[in-house]
Structure formats: structure tokens, C-alpha cells
Amino acid sequence: MSKQIIEINGVKLEVDLSTAKRIDEFRVGDTVKVLIKETNYAGETSRIYPGVIVGFEAFASKPTIVVAYIDVTYGSVCIKYLYYNSDCKAEIIHAEFDEVPFAKSQVIDFLDREIAKKEEELAESKRKKAYFLNQFATSFAHVFK
């Protein structure tokens, strides 16, 4: 038997590592940290994202935990989904609310800016359509029947 003394939160325990198991309980709504492993030209990198468990899919062959996580980059916010199962290269662990590296107001500001940008793109497309109808459609009425 391989026994080892480990310390968890200041408590020393003697553990038989050959039989030790890690058991995590997750529930819908639990906050988690998501470790995403990515491979790129520079090799393998890892990033940690805050997330929340949004569902469980009890497939017989591949039970899956569905996690929504937030990717906050320099200029944008993206809500992504992780489908955590036996094929997944990511990891999840429990997290506390105070471990989220940004405030709700920051995310709302990012999303409001994104909405404003898309609304401006829509308005620009409507102006182009109106311009086309006013300038070209009347001049080329014989072509556009």
C-alpha cells in the first residue's frame, strides 16, 4: 500500500493513494471554473473561464454536463458552451462567485456596445437599400421589372 500524508485546508490526512477517489457533486446552477486546453502553433496552452452548469444530458453511452462559460477578451464578451463528457479535453471544478474575474456591469457594457454596433450596421444597410431604391431603381426601372 502506498500511503501518503496530504494537507487539505490545514488538515493533515493519511491517504491510501491506491484506493483514493475524487468524487464531485455538480448541480444545475453551480458556478464552475472551466479549463480549456488548446493547441496552436506555439504548442498547447490552457485558459481558465468562469462558467455555470446549465444542464445534464443523460445519454446512455456518453453522459454529458452542459456548461455555459464566458470568454471576456480585450474588446468583446462571448458566451460559449462546453459539453463535458469522456471525450472532452477540458476540465471543470467548483468555483465561488467571488472568483469571477470581472463584474456584471463590465459584461453588460460589452454587450451593450456590441448591440449598438449591430444596430448601426443594420441602420447602414437600411440606408443603402433606401439609396438604391431612390437613385438606381428609378433610373433603371426598365431593367428591374
**What is the tens place of the pLDDT at every residue in 33-74?**
899 988 878 788 888 888 888 998 888 888 899 999 988 777
- What residue type is assigned to position 49 of the chain? Y
**Residue 43 and residue 112 share a domain:** no
Domain assignment of residue 3, yes or no? no
Domain assignment of residue 5, yes or no? no
Boundaries of domain holding 64: 22-101
Domain assignment of residue 126, yes or no? yes
CATH of the domain at 39: 2.30.30
Domain assignment of residue 1, yes or no? no
What is the Cα–Cα distance from 78 to 51, expressed in whole angstroms?
A: 12
**Residue 90 and residue 123 share a domain:** no
Reading the block at residue 32, the C-alpha cell is 464552475
82 pLDDT band, cuts 50/70/90, is: very high
107 CB neighbour count, 10 Å cutoff: 15
Q: Determine the pLDDT at residue 96.
A: 75
- Across the strands, what pairs with 36? 47
